[in-house]
Chain A
Amino acid sequence: MDTMRERFAPVVSRLLDEDPRVAVVLAEIGRDRFAEAERRHPDRVVNVGIREQLLIGAGAGLALTGMRPVLHTFASFLVERPFEQVKLDLGHQDVGAVLVSAAASFDWPAGGYTHMAPGDVALLDTLDGWTVHVPGHPDEAETLLRHAVGAGGAKDDKVYVRLSVQANRRALAVDGQRFLTVREGRRGVVVAVGPMLDAVLAATEGLDVTVLYATTVRPFDGAALRRATGAAGTDVVLVEPYLAGTSTAAANDALADVPHRVLGLGVGRPELRRYGQIEEHVTAHGLDAPSLRTRIAGFLKPRAGA
Protein backbone atom coordinates (compact mmCIF):
# COMPACT_ATOMS: atom_id res chain seq x y z
CA MET A 1 0.00 0.00 0.00
CA ASP A 2 1.24 3.48 -0.80
CA THR A 3 1.26 6.17 1.86
CA MET A 4 -1.07 9.16 1.97
CA ARG A 5 1.87 11.39 1.17
CA GLU A 6 2.77 9.29 -1.88
CA ARG A 7 -0.84 9.65 -3.01
CA PHE A 8 -0.83 13.43 -2.51
CA ALA A 9 1.36 14.50 -5.43
CA PRO A 10 -0.32 12.38 -8.15
CA VAL A 11 -3.80 13.43 -7.01
CA VAL A 12 -2.97 17.12 -6.87
CA SER A 13 -1.04 16.87 -10.17
CA ARG A 14 -4.27 15.67 -11.79
CA LEU A 15 -6.17 18.54 -10.18
CA LEU A 16 -3.61 20.93 -11.68
CA ASP A 17 -4.42 19.41 -15.08
CA GLU A 18 -8.16 19.67 -14.50
CA ASP A 19 -8.51 23.19 -13.14
CA PRO A 20 -6.40 26.24 -14.11
CA ARG A 21 -7.27 27.86 -10.78
CA VAL A 22 -5.27 25.27 -8.83
CA ALA A 23 -1.72 26.20 -7.80
CA VAL A 24 0.72 24.33 -5.56
CA VAL A 25 3.20 26.12 -3.34
CA LEU A 26 6.00 24.15 -1.71
CA ALA A 27 8.87 24.98 0.63
CA GLU A 28 11.38 22.43 -0.69
CA ILE A 29 9.76 19.53 1.18
CA GLY A 30 7.96 17.23 -1.25
CA ARG A 31 9.32 19.01 -4.30
CA ASP A 32 10.66 15.95 -6.13
CA ARG A 33 7.23 14.38 -6.28
CA PHE A 34 5.95 17.42 -8.19
CA ALA A 35 8.76 17.56 -10.76
CA GLU A 36 6.58 16.34 -13.63
CA ALA A 37 3.69 18.63 -12.69
CA GLU A 38 6.14 21.53 -12.49
CA ARG A 39 7.25 20.84 -16.06
CA ARG A 40 3.64 20.87 -17.26
CA HIS A 41 2.56 23.87 -15.18
CA PRO A 42 5.66 25.94 -14.40
CA ASP A 43 3.63 28.95 -13.27
CA ARG A 44 1.36 26.93 -11.02
CA VAL A 45 3.86 24.77 -9.17
CA VAL A 46 6.02 27.13 -7.14
CA ASN A 47 8.79 26.18 -4.74
CA VAL A 48 9.62 29.18 -2.55
CA GLY A 49 12.58 27.56 -0.84
CA ILE A 50 12.83 27.02 2.90
CA ARG A 51 10.58 29.99 3.62
CA GLU A 52 7.42 29.04 5.43
CA GLN A 53 6.15 32.54 6.16
CA LEU A 54 6.38 33.21 2.43
CA LEU A 55 4.71 29.84 1.75
CA ILE A 56 1.52 30.99 3.48
CA GLY A 57 1.76 34.64 2.44
CA ALA A 58 2.28 33.78 -1.22
CA GLY A 59 -0.61 31.35 -0.99
CA ALA A 60 -2.79 34.18 0.28
CA GLY A 61 -1.66 36.41 -2.59
CA LEU A 62 -2.51 33.70 -5.10
CA ALA A 63 -5.95 33.38 -3.52
CA LEU A 64 -6.47 37.15 -3.72
CA THR A 65 -6.08 36.89 -7.49
CA GLY A 66 -8.69 34.13 -7.66
CA MET A 67 -6.47 31.04 -7.57
CA ARG A 68 -7.02 27.96 -5.41
CA PRO A 69 -3.67 27.45 -3.64
CA VAL A 70 -2.56 24.13 -2.18
CA LEU A 71 0.23 24.70 0.36
CA HIS A 72 2.32 21.81 1.59
CA THR A 73 5.06 21.00 4.03
CA PHE A 74 5.49 19.17 7.34
CA ALA A 75 2.78 20.03 9.88
CA SER A 76 5.17 21.76 12.27
CA PHE A 77 6.35 24.13 9.52
CA LEU A 78 2.93 24.55 7.90
CA VAL A 79 0.77 25.40 10.89
CA GLU A 80 3.02 26.14 13.86
CA ARG A 81 5.96 28.11 12.48
CA PRO A 82 3.91 30.52 10.29
CA PHE A 83 0.83 30.52 12.50
CA GLU A 84 0.35 34.28 12.34
CA GLN A 85 0.35 34.07 8.54
CA VAL A 86 -2.34 31.38 8.78
CA LYS A 87 -4.34 33.61 11.11
CA LEU A 88 -3.91 36.91 9.23
CA ASP A 89 -2.95 36.24 5.60
CA LEU A 90 -5.75 33.71 5.18
CA GLY A 91 -8.30 34.32 7.96
CA HIS A 92 -8.13 38.08 8.36
CA GLN A 93 -7.74 38.66 4.61
CA ASP A 94 -10.84 36.51 4.17
CA VAL A 95 -9.32 34.21 1.54
CA GLY A 96 -9.06 30.45 1.40
CA ALA A 97 -6.39 27.84 0.82
CA VAL A 98 -5.85 24.12 1.20
CA LEU A 99 -3.08 23.33 3.68
CA VAL A 100 -1.81 19.78 3.30
CA SER A 101 0.59 18.57 5.95
CA ALA A 102 2.82 15.55 6.29
CA ALA A 103 4.63 14.03 9.28
CA ALA A 104 1.62 14.38 11.62
CA SER A 105 2.18 13.78 15.35
CA PHE A 106 5.15 11.40 15.16
CA ASP A 107 5.47 9.94 11.68
CA TRP A 108 9.26 10.28 11.93
CA PRO A 109 10.12 9.51 15.55
CA ALA A 110 13.83 9.32 14.80
CA GLY A 111 13.56 12.96 13.71
CA GLY A 112 12.59 13.95 17.21
CA TYR A 113 10.30 16.64 18.60
CA THR A 114 11.24 19.30 16.03
CA HIS A 115 9.37 17.28 13.42
CA MET A 116 6.35 16.39 15.54
CA ALA A 117 3.16 18.45 15.51
CA PRO A 118 0.58 16.87 17.82
CA GLY A 119 -0.85 20.34 18.50
CA ASP A 120 -1.70 21.33 14.93
CA VAL A 121 -5.44 20.71 15.06
CA ALA A 122 -5.77 22.29 18.51
CA LEU A 123 -3.93 25.35 17.22
CA LEU A 124 -6.27 25.69 14.23
CA ASP A 125 -9.16 25.43 16.71
CA THR A 126 -8.24 28.92 17.92
CA LEU A 127 -9.27 30.23 14.50
CA ASP A 128 -12.65 30.49 12.79
CA GLY A 129 -13.86 28.70 9.72
CA TRP A 130 -11.33 25.92 9.19
CA THR A 131 -12.36 22.54 7.84
CA VAL A 132 -10.04 19.80 9.10
CA HIS A 133 -9.73 16.43 7.35
CA VAL A 134 -7.81 13.57 9.00
CA PRO A 135 -7.89 10.67 6.54
CA GLY A 136 -7.19 7.18 7.83
CA HIS A 137 -6.19 5.57 4.54
CA PRO A 138 -4.57 6.71 1.26
CA ASP A 139 -7.87 6.18 -0.61
CA GLU A 140 -9.62 8.40 1.90
CA ALA A 141 -6.82 10.94 1.54
CA GLU A 142 -7.47 11.03 -2.20
CA THR A 143 -11.20 11.55 -1.68
CA LEU A 144 -10.66 14.25 0.93
CA LEU A 145 -7.96 16.05 -1.07
CA ARG A 146 -10.29 16.23 -4.08
CA HIS A 147 -13.10 17.40 -1.82
CA ALA A 148 -10.85 20.02 -0.23
CA VAL A 149 -9.47 21.50 -3.44
CA GLY A 150 -12.85 21.35 -5.12
CA ALA A 151 -11.38 21.53 -8.62
CA GLY A 152 -13.85 23.14 -10.98
CA GLY A 153 -16.16 24.01 -8.11
CA ALA A 154 -14.89 27.54 -7.42
CA LYS A 155 -14.22 26.63 -3.78
CA ASP A 156 -12.45 29.23 -1.70
CA ASP A 157 -12.72 27.97 1.87
CA LYS A 158 -9.97 27.24 4.38
CA VAL A 159 -9.15 23.54 4.63
CA TYR A 160 -6.47 21.59 6.47
CA VAL A 161 -5.69 18.04 5.33
CA ARG A 162 -3.53 16.08 7.78
CA LEU A 163 -1.67 13.25 6.06
CA SER A 164 0.10 10.54 8.03
CA VAL A 165 2.00 7.35 7.36
CA GLN A 166 -0.18 5.78 10.04
CA ALA A 167 -3.16 4.20 8.31
CA ASN A 168 -5.95 1.68 8.70
CA ARG A 169 -5.95 -1.56 6.70
CA ARG A 170 -8.93 -0.62 4.56
CA ALA A 171 -10.63 2.55 3.44
CA LEU A 172 -14.19 3.53 4.22
CA ALA A 173 -16.57 5.61 2.11
CA VAL A 174 -15.88 9.01 3.62
CA ASP A 175 -17.66 12.09 2.26
CA GLY A 176 -15.73 15.07 3.61
CA GLN A 177 -18.48 15.93 6.09
CA ARG A 178 -20.04 13.22 8.21
CA PHE A 179 -18.95 10.70 10.81
CA LEU A 180 -19.63 7.07 9.83
CA THR A 181 -21.15 4.48 12.14
CA VAL A 182 -18.87 1.45 12.13
CA ARG A 183 -20.28 -0.56 15.03
CA GLU A 184 -23.39 -0.18 17.20
CA GLY A 185 -23.72 -0.88 20.92
CA ARG A 186 -25.56 0.30 24.02
CA ARG A 187 -22.91 1.18 26.60
CA GLY A 188 -21.06 4.12 25.21
CA VAL A 189 -19.84 5.86 22.08
CA VAL A 190 -16.23 5.74 20.93
CA VAL A 191 -15.23 8.21 18.22
CA ALA A 192 -12.14 7.03 16.32
CA VAL A 193 -10.39 9.72 14.29
CA GLY A 194 -8.58 8.83 11.06
CA PRO A 195 -5.69 6.38 11.54
CA MET A 196 -6.92 5.42 15.03
CA LEU A 197 -9.80 3.28 13.71
CA ASP A 198 -8.07 -0.10 13.48
CA ALA A 199 -6.70 0.19 17.02
CA VAL A 200 -10.09 1.32 18.33
CA LEU A 201 -11.91 -1.57 16.65
CA ALA A 202 -9.43 -4.03 18.11
CA ALA A 203 -9.63 -2.37 21.53
CA THR A 204 -13.43 -2.43 21.65
CA GLU A 205 -13.85 -5.98 20.33
CA GLY A 206 -16.53 -7.61 22.47
CA LEU A 207 -17.42 -4.36 24.26
CA ASP A 208 -21.01 -3.24 23.83
CA VAL A 209 -20.18 0.18 22.35
CA THR A 210 -20.98 2.22 19.29
CA VAL A 211 -17.91 3.17 17.22
CA LEU A 212 -18.09 6.27 15.05
CA TYR A 213 -15.40 6.98 12.48
CA ALA A 214 -14.39 10.60 11.95
CA THR A 215 -12.20 11.76 9.09
CA THR A 216 -13.61 15.28 8.96
CA VAL A 217 -13.29 16.60 12.50
CA ARG A 218 -13.97 20.30 11.81
CA PRO A 219 -16.71 21.09 11.58
CA PHE A 220 -17.36 18.45 14.24
CA ASP A 221 -20.33 16.23 13.36
CA GLY A 222 -22.15 16.86 16.61
CA ALA A 223 -25.42 15.64 15.11
CA ALA A 224 -23.93 12.19 14.49
CA LEU A 225 -22.61 12.05 18.04
CA ARG A 226 -26.02 13.01 19.46
CA ARG A 227 -27.77 10.40 17.36
CA ALA A 228 -25.34 7.74 18.53
CA THR A 229 -25.90 8.63 22.20
CA GLY A 230 -29.63 8.00 21.73
CA ALA A 231 -29.10 4.24 21.82
CA ALA A 232 -25.63 3.98 23.32
CA GLY A 233 -25.90 6.48 26.15
CA THR A 234 -23.94 9.63 26.81
CA ASP A 235 -20.58 8.21 27.89
CA VAL A 236 -18.25 9.30 25.09
CA VAL A 237 -14.63 8.43 24.36
CA LEU A 238 -12.68 10.36 21.73
CA VAL A 239 -9.58 8.69 20.30
CA GLU A 240 -7.56 11.20 18.27
CA PRO A 241 -4.15 10.83 16.61
CA TYR A 242 -3.10 14.30 17.78
CA LEU A 243 -3.16 16.12 21.13
CA ALA A 244 -5.43 14.35 23.64
CA GLY A 245 -8.63 16.27 24.31
CA THR A 246 -8.51 18.36 21.13
CA SER A 247 -12.17 17.59 20.36
CA THR A 248 -13.44 17.34 23.93
CA ALA A 249 -14.94 20.82 23.82
CA ALA A 250 -16.70 20.05 20.54
CA ALA A 251 -18.18 16.86 21.99
CA ASN A 252 -19.28 18.72 25.12
CA ASP A 253 -20.94 21.38 22.98
CA ALA A 254 -22.82 18.70 21.04
CA LEU A 255 -24.19 17.27 24.30
CA ALA A 256 -24.55 20.53 26.23
CA ASP A 257 -28.19 19.96 27.19
CA VAL A 258 -27.84 16.40 28.49
CA PRO A 259 -25.79 14.94 31.33
CA HIS A 260 -22.76 13.29 29.75
CA ARG A 261 -19.16 12.24 30.30
CA VAL A 262 -16.30 12.64 27.83
CA LEU A 263 -12.87 10.99 27.90
CA GLY A 264 -10.38 12.50 25.47
CA LEU A 265 -7.59 10.16 24.41
CA GLY A 266 -4.76 11.06 22.09
CA VAL A 267 -1.15 12.16 22.09
CA GLY A 268 0.03 13.27 25.52
CA ARG A 269 1.13 16.83 26.12
CA PRO A 270 4.51 16.17 27.82
CA GLU A 271 7.46 16.05 25.46
CA LEU A 272 8.55 12.42 25.29
CA ARG A 273 12.20 13.05 24.30
CA ARG A 274 12.45 9.66 22.62
CA TYR A 275 13.36 8.64 19.07
CA GLY A 276 12.71 5.09 17.80
CA GLN A 277 9.73 3.73 15.87
CA ILE A 278 6.16 4.87 15.37
CA GLU A 279 4.84 1.82 17.21
CA GLU A 280 6.93 2.71 20.24
CA HIS A 281 5.42 6.19 20.34
CA VAL A 282 1.91 4.79 19.86
CA THR A 283 2.47 2.63 22.92
CA ALA A 284 4.12 5.39 24.93
CA HIS A 285 1.02 7.56 24.42
CA GLY A 286 -1.30 4.67 25.34
CA LEU A 287 -2.80 4.51 21.87
CA ASP A 288 -2.09 0.83 21.13
CA ALA A 289 -5.10 -1.50 21.23
CA PRO A 290 -4.42 -3.09 24.65
CA SER A 291 -3.87 0.29 26.33
CA LEU A 292 -6.95 1.74 24.63
CA ARG A 293 -9.03 -1.24 25.76
CA THR A 294 -7.97 -0.77 29.37
CA ARG A 295 -8.67 2.94 29.34
CA ILE A 296 -11.97 2.72 27.43
CA ALA A 297 -13.30 -0.19 29.50
CA GLY A 298 -12.24 1.54 32.70
CA PHE A 299 -14.11 4.68 31.73
CA LEU A 300 -17.26 2.86 30.64
CA LYS A 301 -17.54 0.32 33.48
CA PRO A 302 -20.81 0.49 35.43
CA ARG A 303 -20.47 2.88 38.31
CA ALA A 304 -21.43 1.87 41.80
CA GLY A 305 -25.18 2.13 42.19
CA ALA A 306 -25.73 2.49 38.48
Chain B
Amino acid sequence: MALMTGDEKHGPAATSTLDALWVLYDRVLRVDPERLDDPERDRFLLSKGHGPMAYYAVLAAKGFLPVEWLPGFGSYDSPLGHHPDRVLVPGAEIGSGSLGHGLPIAVGTALGLRAQGRPGPAVWVLIGDAELDEGSNHEAIAFAGPAGLDRLHTIVIDNSSASHARPGGIAARFEAAGWSAETVDGRNHEALHAAFTAPHPGRPRVVVARVEPKNAPAPVQT
Protein backbone atom coordinates (compact mmCIF):
# COMPACT_ATOMS: atom_id res chain seq x y z
CA MET B 1 0.00 0.00 0.00
CA ALA B 2 2.95 2.28 0.61
CA LEU B 3 3.66 2.13 -3.12
CA MET B 4 0.45 4.10 -3.75
CA THR B 5 0.61 7.81 -3.00
CA GLY B 6 -1.52 10.81 -3.87
CA ASP B 7 -4.79 9.86 -2.16
CA GLU B 8 -3.78 10.35 1.46
CA LYS B 9 -7.11 12.07 2.11
CA HIS B 10 -8.66 8.63 1.83
CA GLY B 11 -5.96 6.85 3.84
CA PRO B 12 -8.31 6.01 6.73
CA ALA B 13 -10.91 4.76 4.24
CA ALA B 14 -8.33 2.49 2.66
CA THR B 15 -6.85 1.02 5.83
CA SER B 16 -10.27 0.42 7.36
CA THR B 17 -11.02 -2.22 4.73
CA LEU B 18 -7.65 -3.99 4.65
CA ASP B 19 -8.29 -6.79 7.15
CA ALA B 20 -11.73 -7.67 5.85
CA LEU B 21 -10.47 -7.66 2.27
CA TRP B 22 -7.50 -9.85 3.13
CA VAL B 23 -9.53 -12.45 4.99
CA LEU B 24 -12.06 -12.49 2.17
CA TYR B 25 -9.55 -12.91 -0.66
CA ASP B 26 -7.21 -15.19 1.30
CA ARG B 27 -9.70 -17.58 2.83
CA VAL B 28 -13.25 -17.14 1.57
CA LEU B 29 -13.68 -16.05 -2.03
CA ARG B 30 -13.50 -18.64 -4.79
CA VAL B 31 -11.85 -16.48 -7.41
CA ASP B 32 -8.87 -17.15 -9.63
CA PRO B 33 -6.82 -14.61 -11.62
CA GLU B 34 -6.45 -17.27 -14.31
CA ARG B 35 -10.22 -17.55 -14.74
CA LEU B 36 -11.60 -14.05 -14.50
CA ASP B 37 -14.70 -14.86 -16.57
CA ASP B 38 -15.56 -18.18 -14.94
CA PRO B 39 -19.35 -18.02 -14.50
CA GLU B 40 -19.04 -20.13 -11.34
CA ARG B 41 -16.65 -17.68 -9.62
CA ASP B 42 -17.68 -15.80 -6.51
CA ARG B 43 -18.33 -12.10 -7.14
CA PHE B 44 -16.81 -9.42 -4.92
CA LEU B 45 -18.13 -5.91 -5.57
CA LEU B 46 -16.25 -3.05 -3.93
CA SER B 47 -18.99 -0.48 -3.55
CA LYS B 48 -17.01 1.82 -1.28
CA GLY B 49 -14.65 2.87 -4.06
CA HIS B 50 -13.05 5.62 -1.98
CA GLY B 51 -9.54 4.81 -0.88
CA PRO B 52 -9.05 1.66 -3.00
CA MET B 53 -5.36 1.26 -2.07
CA ALA B 54 -6.05 -1.74 0.17
CA TYR B 55 -8.13 -3.31 -2.60
CA TYR B 56 -5.41 -2.87 -5.22
CA ALA B 57 -2.81 -4.17 -2.80
CA VAL B 58 -4.83 -7.32 -2.14
CA LEU B 59 -5.53 -7.82 -5.86
CA ALA B 60 -1.79 -7.49 -6.52
CA ALA B 61 -0.89 -9.88 -3.70
CA LYS B 62 -3.32 -12.44 -5.11
CA GLY B 63 -2.00 -12.14 -8.66
CA PHE B 64 -4.87 -10.28 -10.31
CA LEU B 65 -2.69 -7.33 -11.26
CA PRO B 66 1.08 -6.75 -11.37
CA VAL B 67 2.68 -5.16 -8.31
CA GLU B 68 4.50 -2.89 -10.79
CA TRP B 69 1.20 -1.12 -11.46
CA LEU B 70 0.89 0.15 -7.90
CA PRO B 71 3.36 3.08 -7.97
CA GLY B 72 1.53 4.63 -10.93
CA PHE B 73 -1.66 4.89 -8.85
CA GLY B 74 -3.80 7.79 -10.02
CA SER B 75 -1.62 8.80 -12.96
CA TYR B 76 -2.86 9.33 -16.51
CA ASP B 77 -1.36 6.12 -17.85
CA SER B 78 -2.31 3.96 -14.88
CA PRO B 79 -5.32 1.65 -14.88
CA LEU B 80 -5.51 2.20 -11.12
CA GLY B 81 -7.48 5.31 -10.26
CA HIS B 82 -8.53 6.81 -6.96
CA HIS B 83 -11.81 5.06 -7.70
CA PRO B 84 -11.59 1.67 -9.45
CA ASP B 85 -12.86 0.99 -12.97
CA ARG B 86 -13.89 -2.57 -13.76
CA VAL B 87 -13.01 -2.07 -17.41
CA LEU B 88 -9.40 -1.27 -16.46
CA VAL B 89 -8.70 -3.41 -13.38
CA PRO B 90 -8.46 -7.20 -13.78
CA GLY B 91 -10.60 -8.87 -11.12
CA ALA B 92 -12.68 -5.79 -10.32
CA GLU B 93 -16.31 -6.78 -10.78
CA ILE B 94 -17.61 -3.20 -10.78
CA GLY B 95 -16.36 0.32 -11.11
CA SER B 96 -17.25 2.44 -8.10
CA GLY B 97 -16.67 5.83 -6.55
CA SER B 98 -20.13 7.32 -6.42
CA LEU B 99 -21.54 5.84 -3.23
CA GLY B 100 -24.54 3.56 -3.00
CA HIS B 101 -24.28 1.74 -6.32
CA GLY B 102 -22.70 -1.58 -5.34
CA LEU B 103 -25.46 -3.12 -3.26
CA PRO B 104 -28.22 -2.68 -5.87
CA ILE B 105 -25.89 -4.10 -8.53
CA ALA B 106 -25.08 -7.00 -6.20
CA VAL B 107 -28.80 -7.69 -5.83
CA GLY B 108 -29.08 -7.91 -9.61
CA THR B 109 -26.02 -10.13 -9.79
CA ALA B 110 -27.58 -12.52 -7.28
CA LEU B 111 -30.85 -12.45 -9.25
CA GLY B 112 -28.98 -13.17 -12.48
CA LEU B 113 -27.11 -16.14 -11.02
CA ARG B 114 -30.36 -17.48 -9.56
CA ALA B 115 -32.17 -17.11 -12.88
CA GLN B 116 -29.41 -19.08 -14.57
CA GLY B 117 -29.61 -21.91 -12.06
CA ARG B 118 -26.20 -21.21 -10.53
CA PRO B 119 -26.57 -21.60 -6.76
CA GLY B 120 -22.82 -21.98 -6.30
CA PRO B 121 -21.34 -18.51 -6.62
CA ALA B 122 -21.57 -16.22 -3.62
CA VAL B 123 -22.03 -12.49 -4.19
CA TRP B 124 -20.20 -10.14 -1.84
CA VAL B 125 -20.39 -6.38 -1.64
CA LEU B 126 -18.37 -4.12 0.64
CA ILE B 127 -19.78 -0.77 1.72
CA GLY B 128 -18.89 1.81 4.34
CA ASP B 129 -20.99 2.90 7.29
CA ALA B 130 -21.33 6.45 5.94
CA GLU B 131 -22.09 5.06 2.49
CA LEU B 132 -25.26 3.66 4.05
CA ASP B 133 -26.55 7.23 4.12
CA GLU B 134 -27.36 6.81 0.43
CA GLY B 135 -30.99 5.78 -0.01
CA SER B 136 -30.23 3.42 -2.87
CA ASN B 137 -28.75 0.99 -0.33
CA HIS B 138 -32.01 0.90 1.54
CA GLU B 139 -33.92 0.04 -1.62
CA ALA B 140 -31.61 -2.97 -2.00
CA ILE B 141 -31.65 -3.98 1.68
CA ALA B 142 -35.43 -3.86 1.88
CA PHE B 143 -35.81 -5.95 -1.28
CA ALA B 144 -33.10 -8.57 -0.74
CA GLY B 145 -34.39 -9.83 2.60
CA PRO B 146 -37.97 -10.61 1.57
CA ALA B 147 -36.65 -11.91 -1.78
CA GLY B 148 -34.57 -14.46 0.14
CA LEU B 149 -31.33 -13.75 -1.74
CA ASP B 150 -29.26 -16.09 0.41
CA ARG B 151 -26.21 -15.94 -1.89
CA LEU B 152 -25.91 -12.22 -1.21
CA HIS B 153 -23.42 -11.03 1.42
CA THR B 154 -22.73 -7.49 2.54
CA ILE B 155 -19.76 -6.31 4.56
CA VAL B 156 -20.22 -2.94 6.22
CA ILE B 157 -16.93 -1.44 7.34
CA ASP B 158 -17.96 0.66 10.31
CA ASN B 159 -15.35 3.25 11.15
CA SER B 160 -17.93 5.61 12.62
CA SER B 161 -17.69 8.02 9.73
CA ALA B 162 -21.42 8.64 9.33
CA SER B 163 -22.38 12.04 10.73
CA HIS B 164 -25.78 10.85 11.91
CA ALA B 165 -25.94 7.33 13.29
CA ARG B 166 -27.08 5.40 16.34
CA PRO B 167 -25.07 2.61 17.98
CA GLY B 168 -26.24 -0.74 16.67
CA GLY B 169 -28.29 0.93 13.99
CA ILE B 170 -26.57 -0.73 11.07
CA ALA B 171 -27.21 -4.36 12.00
CA ALA B 172 -30.71 -3.47 13.19
CA ARG B 173 -31.53 -1.93 9.83
CA PHE B 174 -30.56 -5.12 7.99
CA GLU B 175 -32.25 -7.40 10.54
CA ALA B 176 -35.48 -5.46 10.19
CA ALA B 177 -35.45 -6.41 6.51
CA GLY B 178 -34.91 -10.08 7.28
CA TRP B 179 -31.16 -10.35 6.88
CA SER B 180 -28.89 -12.53 8.97
CA ALA B 181 -26.63 -10.04 10.75
CA GLU B 182 -23.49 -10.16 12.86
CA THR B 183 -21.23 -7.42 14.17
CA VAL B 184 -17.57 -8.28 14.69
CA ASP B 185 -14.16 -6.76 15.34
CA GLY B 186 -13.01 -5.72 11.89
CA ARG B 187 -9.35 -6.19 12.81
CA ASN B 188 -9.73 -9.74 14.14
CA HIS B 189 -9.10 -12.16 11.29
CA GLU B 190 -10.56 -15.20 13.03
CA ALA B 191 -13.69 -13.32 14.00
CA LEU B 192 -14.06 -12.01 10.46
CA HIS B 193 -13.58 -15.47 8.98
CA ALA B 194 -16.12 -17.01 11.31
CA ALA B 195 -18.65 -14.31 10.50
CA PHE B 196 -18.01 -14.60 6.76
CA THR B 197 -18.54 -18.36 6.74
CA ALA B 198 -21.44 -18.74 9.17
CA PRO B 199 -24.49 -20.38 7.57
CA HIS B 200 -27.54 -18.24 6.90
CA PRO B 201 -30.05 -20.42 5.06
CA GLY B 202 -32.76 -18.58 3.17
CA ARG B 203 -31.53 -15.13 4.12
CA PRO B 204 -28.96 -12.67 2.87
CA ARG B 205 -26.10 -12.01 5.27
CA VAL B 206 -24.53 -8.83 6.59
CA VAL B 207 -21.31 -8.64 8.57
CA VAL B 208 -20.68 -5.32 10.25
CA ALA B 209 -16.92 -5.03 10.72
CA ARG B 210 -16.18 -2.43 13.36
CA VAL B 211 -12.83 -0.71 13.20
CA GLU B 212 -11.29 2.27 14.96
CA PRO B 213 -13.08 5.55 14.24
CA LYS B 214 -12.05 7.30 11.06
CA ASN B 215 -10.13 10.07 12.75
CA ALA B 216 -8.35 7.92 15.32
CA PRO B 217 -4.84 6.56 14.64
CA ALA B 218 -4.87 3.15 12.95
CA PRO B 219 -3.40 0.26 14.97
CA VAL B 220 0.04 -0.95 14.02
CA GLN B 221 -0.34 -3.92 11.69
CA THR B 222 1.84 -6.91 12.47
Contacts and interface: CB of A to CB of B under 8 A. Distances in A.
Same complex? yes
Contacts of B108: 25, 57-65, 69
Nearest to A49: B143
Interface string A202-239: 00000000000000000000000000000000000000
B112 A62 contact: yes
A20 B105 CA distance: 20
A84 interface: yes
A98 B100 CA distance: 22
B62 to A, nearest CB: 21
Nearest to A45: B115
Interface in A123-170: none
Contacts of A64: 43, 93-94, 105, 108-109, 112
Contacts of A23: 111-112, 115
A67 B111 CA distance: 10
A57 B86 contact: no
A120 interface: no
A44 interface: yes
Interface stretch (B72-80, B134-142, B181-189, B196-204): B134-142
Contacts, number: 103
Interface residues of B, number: 31
A53 B95 contact: no
A27 to B, nearest CB: 10
Nearest to A58: B108
B107 interface: yes
A66 B106 contact: no
A93 B109 contact: no
Size bin of chain A's contact surface: 20 to 34
Contacts of A182: none
Given A53-B104, A66-B116, A89-B101, A61 B111 contact: yes
Given A92-B95, A93-B94, A93-B95, A61 B107 contact: yes
Contacts of A25: 108
Given A61-B112, A64-B43, 4 more contacts: A43-B114, A61-B110, A64-B94, A88-B95
Interface of A: 20, 23, 25, 43-44, 46, 48-49, 51, 53-54, 56-67, 69, 84-85, 88-89, 92-94
